[in-house]
Structure 1
Amino acid sequence: MSASKDLDDGSTLRESEITEALISKEKSTAVLIASNSSGNDGKGSILVVILSTFVAVSGSFEFGSAVGFSSPTQSAIRSDLGLSLSEYSVFGSILTIGSMIGAIMCGSLADYVGRKGAMRIAAVFSILGWIAISFSEAAWTLDIGRLSVGYGIGVLSYVVPVYIAEITPKHLRGGFTTVNQLMIVFGASVAFILGTILTWRVLTVTGIVPCLILLLGLFIVPESPRWLAKLGRQQEFEVALRRLRGKEADISEEAVEIEEYIKTIDSLPQVTLIDLFQRKYAHPLIVGAGLIALQQFGGCNGIGFYASETFVSAGFSSTVGTIAMASIQVPITAVGALLMDNCGRRPLLLISATGTCMGCLLVAISFVLEAHDSLTKLSPILALSGILVFSASFSIGMGGIPWVLMSEIFPINVKGTAGSLVNLVHWFGSWAMTFAYNFFMSWSRAGTFFAFSAVSAATVLFVAKLVPETKGRTLEEIQASMDHASSGKSSMH
Structure 2
Amino acid sequence: MGASSCASEPLLPRPGGDGSLAMVIASTGVAVLGSFVFGVSIGYSAPTQSKIREDLQLSLSEYSVFGSIITIGAMIGAVASGHLADVTGRKGAMRASALACIVGWLAIFFAQSAVSLDFGRFCTGFGVGVFSYVVPVFIAEIAPKALRGGLTTLNQLLVCTGLSVTYIVGTMVTWRMLVIAGLVPSIALIIGLFFIPESPRWLAKVGRQKEFEIALQRLRGKDADVSIEAAEIKEFIETIENLPKAGVQDLFNRAYIRPAIVGVGLMVFQQFVGINGILFYASETFVSAGFASGDLGTILMGCIQAPITAVGALLMDRSGRRPLLLISTSGLLIGSLMSAISFYLKIHGLFLEQVPIIALTGILIYIASYSIGMGAVPWVIMSEIFPINIKGIGGSFVTLVNWSGSWAVSFAFNFFMSWSSSGTFFVFALVCAVAILFIVKAVPETKGKTLEEIQASMNSSST
* TM bucket, shorter chain: 0.7 to 0.9
Q: Which amino acid counterpart does residue 357 of structure 1 have in structure 2? A: L
1:72 aligns with 2:39: no
Q: 1:324 aligns with which of 296, 300, 314?
A: 300
Q: 1:131 aligns with which of 96, 101, 106?
A: 106
Alpha-carbon separation, structure 2, partners of 1:133 and 1:349: 38
Judged with a 3 Å threshold, the aligned counterparts in structure 2 of structure 1 residues 312 and 136 are, in CA distance, closer, same or farther, namely farther
CA shift for structure 1 position 177:
1.9
| Partners of 2:98 and 2:190 within 8 A in 1 | yes
CA shift for structure 1 position 239:
3.5
Alpha-carbon separation, structure 2, partners of 1:183 and 1:464: 28
Alpha-carbon separation, structure 2, partners of 1:438 and 1:234: 53
Alpha-carbon separation, structure 2, partners of 1:45 and 1:348: 28
Partner of 2:312 in structure 1? 336
CA deviations 1:250-297 (Å, max 9, x no partner) are 444444444333322312343322232235654543333222112212
Partner of 1:453 in structure 2? 429
CA deviations 1:119-174 (Å, max 9, x no partner) are 11111111221222233343332222111111101111122122222333344333
| Partners of 1:468 and 1:481 within 8 A in 2 | no
Partner of 2:366 in structure 1? 390
1:31 aligns with 2:27: no
Q: Which amino acid counterpart does residue 186 of structure 1 have in structure 2? A: T
Q: Which amino acid counterpart does residue 394 of structure 1 have in structure 2? A: Y
1:404 aligns with 2:380: yes
Partner of 2:339 in structure 1? 363
Partner of 1:14 in structure 2? none
Judged with a 3 Å threshold, the aligned counterparts in structure 2 of structure 1 residues 478 and 277 are, in CA distance, closer, same or farther, namely closer
Partner of 1:305 in structure 2? 280
Partner of 2:400 in structure 1? 424
| Partners of 1:92 and 1:435 within 8 A in 2 | no
Q: 1:44 aligns with which of 4, 16, 19?
A: 19
TM-score, structure 1 normalization: 0.82
CA deviations 1:322-351 (Å, max 9, x no partner) are 221111112222222333444444443333
1:56 aligns with 2:34: no
Alpha-carbon separation, structure 2, partners of 1:216 and 1:280: 40
Partner of 1:166 in structure 2? 141
CA shift for structure 1 position 62:
1.0
Alpha-carbon separation, structure 2, partners of 1:383 and 1:78: 31
| Partners of 1:30 and 1:170 within 8 A in 2 | no
Partner of 2:72 in structure 1? 97
Alpha-carbon separation, structure 1, partners of 2:459 and 2:210: 36
1:147 aligns with 2:122: yes
Judged with a 3 Å threshold, the aligned counterparts in structure 2 of structure 1 residues 237 and 292 are, in CA distance, closer, same or farther, namely closer
Partner SS for 1:198? coil
Partner of 1:7 in structure 2? none
Alpha-carbon separation, structure 1, partners of 2:281 and 2:44: 9
CA shift for structure 1 position 391:
0.5
CA shift for structure 1 position 90:
2.9
Partner of 2:326 in structure 1? 350
CA shift for structure 1 position 416:
3.8
TM-score, structure 2 normalization: 0.87
Partner SS for 1:223? coil
CA deviations 1:16-67 (Å, max 9, x no partner) are xxxx9xx75x966422454xx4255x32342222222111111111111222
Partner SS for 2:173? coil
Alpha-carbon separation, structure 1, partners of 2:340 and 2:227: 60
| Partners of 1:72 and 1:307 within 8 A in 2 | no
Partner SS for 1:218? helix
Percent identical pairs in the alignment equals 59
Partner of 1:13 in structure 2? none
Alpha-carbon separation, structure 2, partners of 1:58 and 1:207: 10
Judged with a 3 Å threshold, the aligned counterparts in structure 2 of structure 1 residues 31 and 280 are, in CA distance, closer, same or farther, namely closer
Please list every run of 5 or more consecutive structure 2 residues that lacks an aligned counterpart in the other structure. Answer: none
| Partners of 2:107 and 2:117 within 8 A in 1 | yes
Please list every run of 5 or more consecutive structure 1 residues that lacks an aligned counterpart in the other structure. Answer: 1-19, 484-493
Partner of 1:201 in structure 2? 176
Q: Which amino acid counterpart does residue 278 of structure 1 have in structure 2? A: N
Judged with a 3 Å threshold, the aligned counterparts in structure 2 of structure 1 residues 439 and 386 are, in CA distance, closer, same or farther, namely same
Judged with a 3 Å threshold, the aligned counterparts in structure 2 of structure 1 residues 276 and 142 are, in CA distance, closer, same or farther, namely same
Judged with a 3 Å threshold, the aligned counterparts in structure 2 of structure 1 residues 205 and 311 are, in CA distance, closer, same or farther, namely farther
Q: Which amino acid counterpart does residue 164 of structure 1 have in structure 2? A: I
CA shift for structure 1 position 82:
4.7
Alpha-carbon separation, structure 2, partners of 1:214 and 1:243: 19
Alpha-carbon separation, structure 2, partners of 1:276 and 1:220: 35
Shifted more, 258-267 versus 80-89: the winner is 80-89
CA deviations 1:197-250 (Å, max 9, x no partner) are 333333222211211221121122222233333333344334333433334444
CA deviations 1:459-487 (Å, max 9, x no partner) are 2343344445555675355555566xxxx
Q: Which amino acid counterpart does residue 197 of structure 2 have in structure 1? A: P
Q: Which amino acid counterpart does residue 305 of structure 2 have in structure 1? A: Q
| Partners of 1:92 and 1:434 within 8 A in 2 | no
Partner of 1:107 in structure 2? 82
CA shift for structure 1 position 400:
1.9
CA deviations 1:63-114 (Å, max 9, x no partner) are 1122222333344444544545544443332212111111111122122222
Q: Which has the larger radius of gyration?
A: 1
Q: 1:156 aligns with which of 120, 131, 142?
A: 131
Partner of 1:291 in structure 2? 266
Alpha-carbon separation, structure 2, partners of 1:61 and 1:169: 23
| Partners of 2:332 and 2:429 within 8 A in 1 | yes
Judged with a 3 Å threshold, the aligned counterparts in structure 2 of structure 1 residues 228 and 469 are, in CA distance, closer, same or farther, namely closer
Judged with a 3 Å threshold, the aligned counterparts in structure 2 of structure 1 residues 346 and 65 are, in CA distance, closer, same or farther, namely same
Judged with a 3 Å threshold, the aligned counterparts in structure 2 of structure 1 residues 406 and 277 are, in CA distance, closer, same or farther, namely same
Q: How many residues align?
A: 458
